[in-house]
Amino acid sequence: MRQSQVESRRQNVAKRSMTKEAKQLTGLIAGLRESLEGIQKERTSMKLTGAEMGLLDERRNNLLLTIAALDDRLSAVQGLIDLGRPHIIRVH
């Protein structure tokens, strides 16, 4: 294979990989948002002690931080795909 064919193939593999990652992130974020809604319902529908309310608040805050981080990651992945510069991300 010529160098341009190898590079083109590498780009296609990277684009498929990043598109798959974007779909996975979207699904994960949606699931976390559902969990967040469940916590909100639990907070409002039940009579809770201060400690229980504190635990729910802590869970909610952790979910919000996780969602924000995943949203950032999703935005970065989508940006690279849109720019036509996908790459395979290697985790060591």
What averages of pLDDT result for each successive group of 10 residues across the chain (92 residues)?
A: 79 88 96 96 86 93 97 93 74 49
At 86, which amino acid appears? P
**What is the rounded distance in angstroms from the CA atom of residue 27 to the CA atom of residue 74?**
11
Q: What is the pTM of this model?
A: 0.80
pLDDT number for residue 10: 82
pLDDT number for residue 21: 93
pLDDT number for residue 37: 96
**What is the rounded distance in angstroms from the CA atom of residue 86 to the CA atom of residue 79?**
9
At 23, list the tokens. Answer: 């779909």
Question: What is the Cα 40 distance to its own chain's centre?
Answer: 21
Map out the domains of the chain as residue ranges.
3-83
